[in-house]
Structures are given as C-alpha cells and as structure tokens.
Chain A
Amino acid sequence: MENTERKGYMDRIERLKQRVLNTKPEMDLENALILTAGFQEAEGQPLCVKKASAFKKQCLEKTVPIWPDELIVGNAGSKQRGGILSVDKCWSVLDEELDTIAERRYDPFYLRPEDRKAFEEIIRPYWKGRSTYEQWLVQCPDFAAVMRDCGALYINRKAVRGWGETTAGYENVIRQGMEGIIAHIDSVMAGLDVCVAGDYEKIEYLKAMKLAAEGIAALGHRYADEARRQAAECTDEKRKQELLDIAATCDHVPEKPARTFREAIQSMYIYQNCIFMEQNAASYNPGRMDQYLYPFYKADLEAGRITPDEAQELLDCLWVKFSEQCLFQDQVTAQFSAGYPMFQNVCCGGIDDRGMDAVNDVSYMILQATADVQLYQPSLSVRYNMSRNPSKFLKKIAEVIKLGTGFPAFHNDNVGIEMMLNKGIPLKEAYDWNPCGCVETNLAGRQRCYTAYADFNLGSAVEYALLNGKSRKYGVQASIQTGDPTEFETFEQFLEAVKKQISYEIRGTVAASNVNDDIGLQNVVPALSLSFNECIDNAKDYAWGGAKYNLGNGIDAIGVADLVNSVIAVKKLVFDDKKITMQRLLDALDADFVGFEDVKRMCDEAPKYGNDEEETNELTGDLFCFIADDIESYTSKFGKMTPGILPVSGNTPFGLEVGALPSGRNAWKPLADGVSPNQGTDTEGMGAVLKSIANIPHGRFNQGTLLNVKMDTTFRDNPNSTKELMNYLRSLCSLGVFHAQFNVVDTETLIDAQQHPDDYTGLMVRVAGYTAYFTELGKEVQDDIISRTNHSEIA
C-alpha cells in the first residue's frame, strides 16, 4: 500500500473500534416503548400522523448517548450495539423468542429482565392484533405457504422487518436540511384544499412528514445539548473542545443545510439513525458518498478549513459508527442472513450524469477508511467503469481487496447501468445507480421496491421434478405434479418438468409479494419518504408508491450451481450416455447415495458448472434466460417483477430442506451461494469460474448477481498479485460479469478460528454480499465458508 505509515488519528480509531468489538449485541426496547406511548397519545389520528407523532416523540425523548472519543455522533437506540424491534410491524417476532433470543445459534441478543418485563406488560398488550406481521400470517396465500413450509420459498423476510433495501435521498437532507424540506412540504401544502376530493389524505400525510422533519431537526439539537453538558463536566481541554465542536455541528445540522464536510457527514448520519429508528431493517444504503461529500471536502480544503488527514479521521469515525447498529430479526430470517448484517452499502467510483469519470479524492478516502477501520460495516462497494475510471483507482481497489476484509465488493459499472435500464430507468439516471444491500441496484431518493423480497429454492425445483412435486424431507405434495420421471423418454421432457417446477415456485413468490405489497400499504414511513422529492410533490408515502420510480419486488434464485449441475448430470447419465436408469438414480438419491457409491461417483464425475465446459455453459445460458423471462412476465401493482441472484446466507437453510441431488450433493448440505460454483467443484480455477458465470445474462438479473471468490494468502503474497488482480477484474468486466467479492483468509485460519473463537473475535469474512465476524456466524455457515474452494493456483 502507498500509505504504510501509521497516521496519528489511528489511536482514536482503534479505541473506538475496540469498544464496538467488545460490546455484545443486546435488545434495545427504548425505541419500541416510546413508539407505543406515541401511538397511544395520537389515538384517533390517521395512521400516518400517528406514526409520525410517535416518531417525533422518539426523537424528543430517546437517550442521546455520546461516547468517549467520538467525533461523529448518533445512535438509533440507547445502546451501543442494540437490536431494535419495530413493534408496529412485527412485535410478535420477539414474543416467540423471549426465552431463546439470548442463546439462539444465529445472531443472539441479550435481553435484560427489565426489558422483558416492559415487553410483556406494555408492548404485548397494546400491539396484540395490530401488527402487519400478524395480518401476513393470516393472508399468506395457501399454496405459497405450503412451499414456504417445505423450504422451497423464503417469503417471510419482509413481513418481519421494515422497508430497508432503499437508498434515501441523503443529498437532499445534507443540502436542504430539515428547514428546506419543511419549506418544500409547506409549498405543496399551500396548493391543497380539504374541500377538493383526495386532498384531505394528502394534507394529513404532509402533516405527518412535517412532524417527522421537526423531530429530526430537534434530535440534532438534543445531541448538541448533550455535548455541551459533557463539555461542561470535562476536565480534559482537548476533549472539551471536541465536544464543543460536536455541539456546534449538531446545532446546525440536520436542521439547516450543511456548510462543511463535517456537517455533511453528521447530517447524513443522524438521518441514517432516524430512518432506522422509524423501521428496523437492513439495507438503508448511504450510496454514492464520494459524489455527495466531495463538493464539501473540496470547498473546505480550498478554504483551509480542513486537512486531508482531518477529513480522513472524520470519515473513519463515521465508519466505526456504521458498525454499531445490529439488525434484529427472527431466528429463521437470521439464518438466511446471519451476522447482524446491516447492509449499509456505501459506494464509490463509477461515472457522473454526463457519463464521465466520477472518481475523486473522496473515492480514495472511502477506500482508505475501510482499510483503516476494518470493521464489518459499512458494506463497501465500488462501481468500476473500465473505460472511464483511472487505473490508479483500480489499483487501490485491488490493494484493499488484498487486505482480506472482504471489501470492497467489486461491481462492473456497465452491467449495473444495463440493469437499471432493464428496470426502465432512463439512461441519464441509470448512470447514477448505486449498489444496494447485498448486490442489488438502486437509485438514491428515487426508487421504491423490495430489492430482495424473497428467495426461491432451485434445489427444491430439481427435487420436485424428480419426485413429481413431492418434498423428500416432509413427504407431502409441496408443488404441482409434473409427471413420473421414470416415464420421461427424452431429456427435454425432464428439462420441461424442471422448468415447470421453477415457474411454480416463482408463481408462489409473486403471489406472496402481491399480498405483502397490499399489507405493506400500512407500513408508512414519513421520515424515510421526506428525502424522496416525489414523495413530497405527490404527498404520497414511500409505502404507497410515492417515489419517482416504483418497481416490482426483487425475486432471488438460490442454488444456481445445484440446478445446472443436477440437470446436466441427468442429461449425461440417464439420457445421453445411458449409464444408469432414472429409477436407479431416484433410488440412489432416496438413499442419499448410501449403497449407491457407483452412482455417487458418476454424479460427481459429471460435468460441473464453473469449469468453463461448453455444454454446461449452454445449459446455464438457457436456464437463466428462462428464469429471467418467467420472473419478468409478472407485473405487480408497482411494476414489473425484478430478478436477482443473491443468496445472502440463505443457501445454507435452503440446503437443509433439500435431499440428495443428481449433482452429487448429499442431502441437507448447503446449496451453492450466488452464482458461485458448488463447493469444491470448480477445479479449473478462478479464470474458468468467470468464464462460466459469464453465461448467465447478468444485466437481466437486475437486482444483482453475486460471485464469491476465495483466494488464499499465497495469491496476496505473489509479487505481481496487485497487477494481475487488476487484470483479472478487467477481464471480469469484459466478460459482462456483474460482481465479485473476495475472501483472502486461508482455510487453516478459518478452521482454527472455528475451534478457538476467542482468539479470533475480530476475524472478518465475506459471507455473501456482506462481511461478518466469522466467530459470530453459526457452524453451518462457517463450514460453508471453509469448504468453498481455495484458489491457490493463481499464485
């Protein structure tokens, strides 16, 4: 790395970081209790006003902690690593886990006895029967529920937490302040008349938005007051001054437009806390920070108000803050995305709205912040535009990848732009896309949809085609009947059955999505909506489709490699080479290959996805065009449904529901993650992997496609590795692959970490679209990471 000398500010960053690392996640019910009281006080008001009043009350009453050493302040709850419960959405999720939450395998949260008492005495009695999750459980379509309960679909995720999966209009907040946003609200309000049909609900909604904006402004002043209070008691002159600087900053933002780099960051972060307070959810994405922060940095630098090191320190402080918040989710959802993953996706690089190079000094500072801080948040993504971005930027990316934090996630800019176009976004705005959550595509302050609404299980689809719609694990008719496979005379008949099963899963997911969309109309979010210009213009909440671009929800395929490998194995073994009969294959799968070792061997030796083999490549292209076509054939009330391939960690729990497959995978083992090959089957190295996955039409899976590449430390230690990693990434771009993320921790370290977790509290791994503390992941997920093929051959 260029800057190897340790900067003075790193002592502070290290202390901040250690405090986060040494704090155990805990349920934080302060937020829920204030919200409950707020709803009670606003009884009789329209829902949006009730929600906004309660939100404002949260801003006025919540604890406003400022911890030692902090320069950037803000916290959604009262605790440093708290999990927040959105009671209006899903209070009962905690109810079901009161006894187990502290000890559960994935993402445990400590629950204090006094919090449990408050939950039982205040929260439960008020919210029982009032949450949207309870409505979902009643209204979920029966046929989708059957597939869900057999593990073929995961459709509960959005019923158990808030919106997320969005990029707020942070730039509006920073540039206009709440003051400017309120002026905007007032100007729309001035044109409305309660005697005009339809205006009443708009008036009430604008009132709600204004209440939220007032709350956000007030929260800034409350942090200022707290800073002044601490300053008065502070005997250390240096810290006293820092506290007074915090007070001055928070007195100004987020109420007023930011004037400096520091104010811009602080404004952005208080707002980030606010939208999280409003609804607990993953994937509130700060987006293109290098673009909206750079003008402030440049002006400060020119005016002599800041040095590059001071600016870097502030950014590093913010980076530590991003790692504080912990996502609370129910135990099932936690399996699908383990590691308290907040998915706050920060992006740098790419092009501007003229299509020209957008890399600036802050782009490099953002990469440096991740290199300095090395915590699991923010999720750092780069948009790399091969024809526009400089080689120096690519070199910095390669260097940070080699640090082994799993960041940055590398995104091929041109495919990102294609994805936006395919969502129907005009080119000029498509240029401004940003990665969202895991690898989805988003547009700050303009796009509304769940980018990863639900997952469907491709391993199950294969199983159903082989069992005529039955689930092996549960023995029930989970899906439609597509014929007894022993009667299939041609491979095409089998392929057709698989496709019908996939279609039926997609159908179930779409049905669930439509129901969820309707229930979701009640999940109003005025604090989030106020940074979306069109939500104000239309006086219409994000939930109601107020954003500029409303899209159908994202539907994610899980088990890409399992599907391709199973189908090609059946083709080769049963139909082409006729090495075994369908019946013998079925018997072998039923026995999980025990006593059928010859069949297992044939399955293992069949061609495998990921090795750049011609026929497998063809099949991959065919199947994934079919899947994209099928998903896009549905339109919800918000727009065309959007396909994606990102597993988060859902390939592990989905795997637990699927028996042995013709791919040679044993029963109940994890499926492959994202578009990556099955564990241990990519024998031709990371070049062949790229060539193989290039056969998926990435641009059409416009909610992103995810590739995990694990390299061992020998790659990192090769004298040419930076240069060749750059070339590898350029090749990736040329091939039209969308995304890659790299784990460079060696397998031995991971195994040791699994055995001695106490020695590895800070060890991070890229799970799938995000980085988590390895020791905080469950054993199956750990095993999955360990078993991903270790690519030493590039070294």
Chain B
Amino acid sequence: MSEKAVILRIERISLNDGKGMRTVVFFKGCHLHCAWCSTPESQKLPREVYYKKERCRSCGACILRCPEQALAFTADGKVVRDQKKCRNCFRCVDVCNFRAQQIYGREMTVEEVMKEIRKDEIFYFFSDGGVTLSGGDVFCQTDFAEALLDECIDSGIDTCAELDLYTEPENVKRIIPKLDMVYADLKCMSPTMHKKWTGGSNGKILANLKLADEICKKNAIHVRVPVVEGVNDNRDNILATAEFCAGLKNCAELEFLPYHRLGIHAYRQLQRPYPLEDRKPMNRFDVYERMGFLCDREWPFDIRISGMEVYSREAGKVDVTEEELKA
C-alpha cells in the first residue's frame, strides 16, 4: 500500500458534489485528458509548478535560479516557462517572494487527509453530507483511495466519488462497494468520438459501469454528462446515454452539466493552450434545448441539469420555465 498520494486540493463544505455539504478530496493524475477539462491542473500525477502572472513583479529571481534555463522574460516583462525543459524541481517557487510561482499538488498521508476531513464532521451531521473523492482520477491512486475510504467508513462518514471508470475491473471491485454514492461520467456513447475527445476508448468505461451496477449499493449510481457543443450534444448521443442508463439497475439519476470555461484560468497559469478556445459556454437552458425531449418519455431515474430537476422518476416531467433555466 502506497503511503502517500498526490492530492491536488481539498475543498470544504462544497454543495455540488453529492448529498449535503461535502469535503471534496481532489486526487491528482488522470488517465484521460478531455478537451473540455475544467481542472487541467489535475491531469498530471506529479506535483507541478504554475505561474500567477498577476502577482509577478518581474524581479527575475526565478529565471536566475532555474538550473534548466527553462524560464525567460516575455516582451511584457512576465515570465514564460519552456515546458520541455522544466523538471519541476520547484526552485523557482522557493525563490519567488511574491508567490507568483506556485505548486499544484501536495503529498499527503491518509492520516493527514483524514485530519482535514474530520474538521468538517459537524457540517456532515446537519446536512447529511460526507466525503467525496474527485480528481483527476481516483483510479490513478487506487490503493490510497481504498485506504482513505476504509478510514471514512470506520468513522461513519458518508462516502462518495466522482469517477470516469477508465481503469481495470479489479480496481472497480475494490472501490465501488465502499461508496454510498457513485458519480460516473458518461462523456460520449460513440467509441470513436470518445477516443477523439478524451484520449481513451469508452468500451472499458461502459463495461466498468455495468460492473459497478452489479456491486454498488442500492440506487447508488448517478450518471453525469458534461454537455459540449459539437461533441456529445446531439440527439442520438443523448438518447443513447439515457437508454444505457435505463439498462442499469441502480442508476438513480442522470445529470447533464452545461459546458463551462472556468478552467481557462488554470490553463493560463500552467501555460498550456486551451483546447476548446472557440467553444461557447452553455447555461441550463441551452442544455434543456438539447435534451428536453427526454422528459416526455418514461425513465426509471431522475433527470437534472446542473442540480435542477427537470424529470422525476415518480412524477415525470417537471415544469421549468425558461427564466428559471437561464437564472
């Protein structure tokens, strides 16, 4: 069992990652690299340096200190990094007095992470919340994730994880039974499109989702679809996704998440190009226009758009106004 994991960050009392207020543990490292990824700083497993331009006073200390000569001034006096030369030795971070050079990721033990989690117990108690493992991809550090979940269960803390399931079935078998709730991403039903936009094929994911459905707790699965224009927002894909979910025994909810561009900031700080530069962000209404037709059929699960319920398995279609969707 690995002693430490690389944790990107721990977000406290989040409302968007499961029941109630939750502590979200973001694992670093991901097997996929989706073009729309809003957390690019989670993609690489090792810790990595980033640059906050706004704080930089152009003192040049980092440029002088860099043993690889990976840093240089730009024309406007800011610092640019040659990613190929950078070895992530973090000496530039050490010498920066203005905290412009910073590190994404921190090595933590299970006990250290648990200490942070336990701080929020009072909020779990009142809101029915708990811990959510997210990423990145939890399955890049499965041993650690399993140990962490065991500790949570030992303390009676509700467990949840946001997974893309691009991993080996053995890992799925280790993690899924320990979760009270599972968020599973279904990015795209077409294998070729999936490969094109995420770098991986979806065969493994679909098989793992079926496996998870067999071994999870009752109604524990919530499928999430990030809706991106021109990628997966066509009627066929949306219908195929819903039908796949209908074939699962334990899928309680299908949730569509409008594509947003809040991750751009992180791309800039990592000095990486943003892959979807020309793509428009969506709001709930844009998504509803594309998937609203689902609500006129019968489904064995609830349907939501970014938290807002548009279809209930008990009551059917939920009336929502354009105004509500656009708010």
**Contacts from A to B (Cβ < 8 Å):** 597-598, 600-601, 604-605, 612, 684-688, 691, 717-721, 723-724, 727-728, 730-731, 734-735, 793-795
Contact = CB atoms under 8 A, between A and B. Distances in A.
Given A727-B21, A734-B126, A794 B13 contact: yes
Contact of B14 (A612, A730, A734, A793): A793
A735 B127 CA distance: 15
- Residue picked from B15, B123, B126, most chain A C-beta under 10 Å: B15
5 closest Cβ pairs, A-B complex? A597-B97, A687-B13, A727-B127, A727-B126, A730-B126
Contacts, number: 72
A710 to B, nearest CB: 15
Nearest to A593: B97
Given A598-B97, A601-B97, A727-B21, A795 B327 contact: no
9 contacts: A597-B97, A597-B98, A598-B97, A600-B97, A691-B119, A691-B120, A719-B308, A734-B126, A794-B15
B11 interface: yes
Nearest to A721: B15
Contact of A685 (B13, B59, B307, B327): B13
Interface in B290-314: 307-308
- Residue picked from A691, A720, A731, A735, most chain B C-beta under 10 Å: A731
B99 interface: yes
Interface string B19-36: 011000000000000000
- Residue picked from A601, A720, A727, most chain B C-beta under 10 Å: A727
B122 interface: yes
Contacts of B20: 724, 727
Nearest to A605: B99
Contacts of B11: 685, 793
Given A688-B119, A731-B123, A724 B98 contact: no
Given A612-B119, A724-B127, 16 more contacts: A598-B97, A601-B99, A684-B12, A720-B307, A723-B127, A724-B15, A724-B20, A727-B123, A727-B126, A728-B21, A728-B123, A728-B126, A730-B126, A731-B125, A794-B14, A795-B16
B23 to A, nearest CB: 9
Interface of B: 11-16, 20-21, 59, 96-99, 119-120, 122-123, 125-127, 307-308, 327
Nearest to B324: A719
B99 A719 contact: no
Nearest to B95: A598
A735 B122 contact: yes
Contacts of A605: 99
A563 B120 CA distance: 25
B172 to A, nearest CB: 29
A731 B122 contact: yes
A598 B99 CA distance: 10
A724 B18 CA distance: 12
Given A724-B127, A731-B126, A688 B97 contact: no
Contacts of B98: 597, 601
B21 A724 contact: yes
A660 to B, nearest CB: 15
A379 to B, nearest CB: 27
A544 to B, nearest CB: 47
Contacts of B99: 601, 604-605
Given A724-B20, A727-B21, A688 B12 contact: yes
Contacts of B122: 691, 731, 734-735
A193 B45 CA distance: 91
Contacts of A691: 119-120, 122
A793 B13 CA distance: 8
B124 to A, nearest CB: 9
Nearest to A684: B12
Nearest to B308: A719
Given A600-B97, A601-B98, A691-B119, A728 B13 contact: yes
A795 B17 CA distance: 10
A158 to B, nearest CB: 39
Given A597-B97, A719-B307, A724-B20, A795 B15 contact: yes
A717 B122 CA distance: 24
B155 to A, nearest CB: 17
Contacts of A687: 12-13, 21, 119-120, 123
Contacts of A735: 122
B142 to A, nearest CB: 27
B65 to A, nearest CB: 13
A687 to B, nearest CB: 4
A724 B126 CA distance: 9
Contacts of A794: 13-15, 21
A686 B97 CA distance: 28
Contacts of B307: 718-720
B82 to A, nearest CB: 25
Contacts of B123: 687, 727-728, 731
Contacts of B125: 731, 734
Contacts of B327: 717
Nearest to A694: B122
A794 B24 CA distance: 11
A465 B13 CA distance: 38
Contacts of A598: 97
A783 to B, nearest CB: 18
Nearest to A718: B15
A688 B98 CA distance: 25
Contacts of A795: 15-16
A685 B12 contact: yes
B15 A720 contact: yes
A566 B108 CA distance: 28
B282 to A, nearest CB: 16
Contacts of A600: 97
Contacts of B21: 687, 724, 727-728, 794
Contacts of A721: 15
A525 B97 CA distance: 59
A165 to B, nearest CB: 34
Contacts of A597: 59, 97-98
A612 B23 CA distance: 14
Contacts of A723: 127
Contacts of A731: 122-123, 125-127
Contacts of B126: 727-728, 730-731, 734
Contacts of B12: 684-685, 687-688, 793
A731 B307 CA distance: 23
A735 B126 CA distance: 12
B16 to A, nearest CB: 7
B91 to A, nearest CB: 15
Nearest to B99: A601
Contacts of B59: 597
A793 B11 CA distance: 8
Contacts of B96: 601
B326 to A, nearest CB: 11
Nearest to B97: A597
A786 to B, nearest CB: 17
B24 to A, nearest CB: 10
A719 B307 CA distance: 7
A404 B12 CA distance: 23
A162 to B, nearest CB: 43
A685 B20 CA distance: 16
A307 B126 CA distance: 38
Contacts of B97: 597-598, 600-601
A727 B123 CA distance: 7
Contacts of A724: 15, 20-21, 127
A685 B24 CA distance: 13
A601 B97 CA distance: 6
Contacts of B15: 718, 720-721, 724, 794-795
A727 B129 CA distance: 10
Contacts of A727: 20-21, 123, 126-127
- Residue picked from B12, B16, B98, most chain A C-beta under 10 Å: B12
Contacts of A730: 126
